[in-house]
Structure 1
Amino acid sequence: MDPTALEPAADFHADQLQAELTDSGFTSVTVLDQVESTNVWLADQVRQTGGTDLSAVVTGFQSAGKGRLDRHWFTPPGVALTFSVACTPRTAAGVPWPVEYVPWLTLLMAHSVTRAVRGTARVPAVIKWPNDVLVDSRKLCGVLATLINHPGSSVPSAVVGAGLNVSQRHLPIPTATSLRLEAGNDAAVPDRQTLLTEILREFARCYHLVSQDPGAALGPGGDMRAVLESELDTLGRRVALHLPGSTVPEQAVAEGLGTSGELIVRGDQRTARALSAGDVVHVRPAPGAARTASEQCALDDVARITAGERA
């Protein structure tokens, strides 16, 4: 059934989602017609249960969504994929992830969205540090993580939410886009349940991989770290840093990622420093900065796939 204004989640089927995701380790997948915020709703559930591993909630309409730095955003009912995942990160040995690796969950979700939309819609998506998915510099998806500390426990939980523009034909700002706008026709846009299933499967795969040994996966030279860096449009280019309290952007070269996924930048004085997501208001390409190798690689990859399908 297609979503409507009265039933914006009509295209989601909780039983089918649960069946398709059980092998990935999801203990529950909840479908809500409408909610103010999937992150807030799932965080409340996690606080009540004292922590869970890999549960998810998806809604047909989120009425009070928030992004980084408490930015508000709104999409009409039934046109976006809005969901959150909860986890309590432990290693294979059952101990909490080292605290420095927990912030990487945001990039793991951005990666999962990127892989899913490339594979299902053939859209050349890339990651913009710290929490966006872009197509040709236009925002397709935003990711937001919330950390939850439990009284009497040393193991925190995390809720990671995402809002992905799917079937919008018009968006209020020119720097945003949707899968429908990028694909060019309705037939090329996968349904929201298919997208959600692919995203959650990839997130679970990456989450379990990292949990085997977070340091080996995300430390210097780690396989998962290398994958994330390869998809980051921000790296290797000159960027304009919009910092809190400053009206003049500072320019620097984005060189890599730090221990906790911070952005390592080097300014004109040749001094390198690490910036966390809370240290910046915006990180944007500096005027005249060329497309990065990662974005060009994504474009080339999708072009090859598309050409093969048409042959």
Structure 2
Amino acid sequence: MEAAQETPDRPPLDLAALRDESFLAANGIPQLAVVESTGSTNADLLRAASENPGAYPDLTVLAAEYQTAARGRLDRRWEAPARSSVSVSLVLRPVNADGRPLPTQSYSWLSLLSALALREVLLETAGLPAELKWPNDVLVRGRKIAGILAQLGPLEGSTVPPVVLGTGLNVSLTTAELPVPTATSVSLEHPATADRTELLKSYLTRFATLYRNFCNADGDPTAGMAGGHSLHKRVEAVLTTLGKQVRAHLPGDQEIIGHASRLDEYGSLMVVDSGGHEHVITAGDVVHLRPWTPPQDESAGTGGQPAGPESGYA
């Protein structure tokens, strides 16, 4: 029998540090609120930004100590202990430096941009070797530590439809509290810090910088960012999905098995099947598979079937 895990000390977010005027001004954050409990920060901001657009400008931030109805992709729901995670949503109204709205097709990169920012936080602030899994997960040592959900709001009365971008980072969850065995948390990975306030501030800082560069490039993922590589190249460089055999579960109970080769200009995953046909995967679940070699002919004797899911990625 395993020994019962002690519940870790879970202090609240430091509101004074988060609302520091110099921190907010440096990152272009017009307002930041933290609520003790809510159903979903994404749902709250989607509703509020739609009902009163002027009150929720670009880079408005809402964080929660506890969410009772948090959602992920494909309407998956989960619940984590209070003060065990960083649960934060932002209202985005993407325009360039001249105030011109970004093309909506560029919005598909926003969740990847957010994942990239969070990966940098985990690497540089927490000292953890983080990678990205397409389309919107962050992994540490092959286990999911964070997920991201971008939702498009209605156009009503505005030339820039809002995007609400939600991020959930497991921080102090114990092994017994993890939602699935293939998940992990910051504290379980022996980090340099597991301070939620420090992690949230670092995330907002890095996200704001990447987001501003992306907007000023008119949402072009191939443009250089801050004198360095483009968003497209930065994401591909840390996307552990690329180069792997994958099973893509698509809407409508379809699936494709093949080699994940690259991202296209919209951030979609390109998968090449055993017949050499390239498929564009814009949405759906992707499972990393163990390496396999398609049969060359019927006498090859290998059966041609991929192995099961790679441990820690399913």
- TM-score normalised by L of structure 2: 0.82
CA shift at 1:85, angstroms? 0.9
The CA distance in 2 between the partners of 1:127 and 1:136, in whole Å, is 11
Moved more, 154-163 or 39-48: 39-48
Query: 1:122 deviation in Å?
Result: 0.9
Shift in Å, 1:261: 1.0
Change (3 A) 1:102 1:246: closer
Q: For the Cα contact (< 8 Å) 2:106–2:220, is it kept in 1? A: no
C-alpha contact (below 8 Å) 2:50/2:156 kept by paired residues = no
- Identify which of 216, 225, 231 aligns with 2:238: 231
Structure-2 residue corresponding to 1:66: 71
Corresponding residue of 1:272: 278
Which of these residues, 231, 240, 263, is aligned with residue 269 of structure 2? 263
**How many residue pairs were aligned?**
277
User: What's the counterpart of residue 211 of structure 1?
Assistant: 215
Looking at structure 2, the residues matched to 220 and 246 of structure 1 have their Cα atoms a distance apart, in angstroms, of: 38
Report what 1:79 is aligned to: 84
- Whether the 8 Å CA contact 1:18–1:29 is kept in 2: the answer is no
CA separation of 1:266/1:160 partners in 2, compared to 1, >3 Å: closer, same or farther? same
SS of structure 1 residue aligned to 2:65:
strand
> Structure 1 residues 172 and 43, CA, compared in 2 at 3 Å: closer, same or farther?
closer
Q: Report Cα offsets for 1:114-140 as digits up to 9, x if no partner.
A: 110111111111111101101122110
C-alpha contact 1:120 1:190 (8 A) present in aligned 2: no
Q: Which AA in structure 1 matches 2:202?
A: E
Partner SS, residue 235 of structure 2: helix
**1:145 match:** 150
Indicate if the aligned counterparts of 1:210 and 1:218 stay in contact, CA closer than 8 A. Answer: no
Root-mean-square deviation (CA), in Å?
2.3
1:250 aligns with 256
The one of 107, 131, 140 equivalent to 1:135 is 140
Deviation of 1:212 (Å): 1.2
Contact 1:24 1:201 in 2 (8 A): yes
| Matching residue of 1:41 | 44
Q: 2:250, 2:110 → 1: CA distance?
A: 24
What displacement does 1:159 show? Answer: 0.6
Relative to structure 1, is the Cα distance of residues 271 and 119 closer, same or farther in structure 2, using a 3 angstrom cutoff?
same
**Which deviates the most, 15-24 or 39-48?**
15-24
User: What runs of 5+ residues in structure 1 fail to find an aligned partner?
Assistant: 290-311
Q: CA deviation at 1:93?
A: 2.1
Q: For residues 232-285 of structure 1, give each alpha carbon's deviation from its aligned partner in whole angstroms, at most 9, with x where no partner exists.
A: 1111222122234448x53211111122211111111111121112xx2x2111
Normalized against structure 1, the TM-score is what? Answer: 0.83
| 1:29 and 2:36 correspond | no
**2:100 match:** 95
2: distance between equivalents of 1:58 and 1:16? 10
Task: Tell me the secondary structure at the aligned position of residue 107 of structure 1.
Answer: helix
- Residues 244 and 291 in structure 2, CA contact (< 8 A), matched pair in contact too: no
- Distance in 2 (alpha carbons) for counterparts of 1:172 and 1:141: 12
Report the AA paired with residue 269 of structure 1.
G
Counterpart of 2:201 (choices 197, 202, 210) is 197
Report the alpha carbon displacement of residue 220 of structure 1 after superposing the two structures with TM.
Answer: 10
Q: 1:156 to 1:244 in 2, by over 3 A?
A: closer
Runs of 4+ in 1 over 4 A off after TM superposition: 219-222
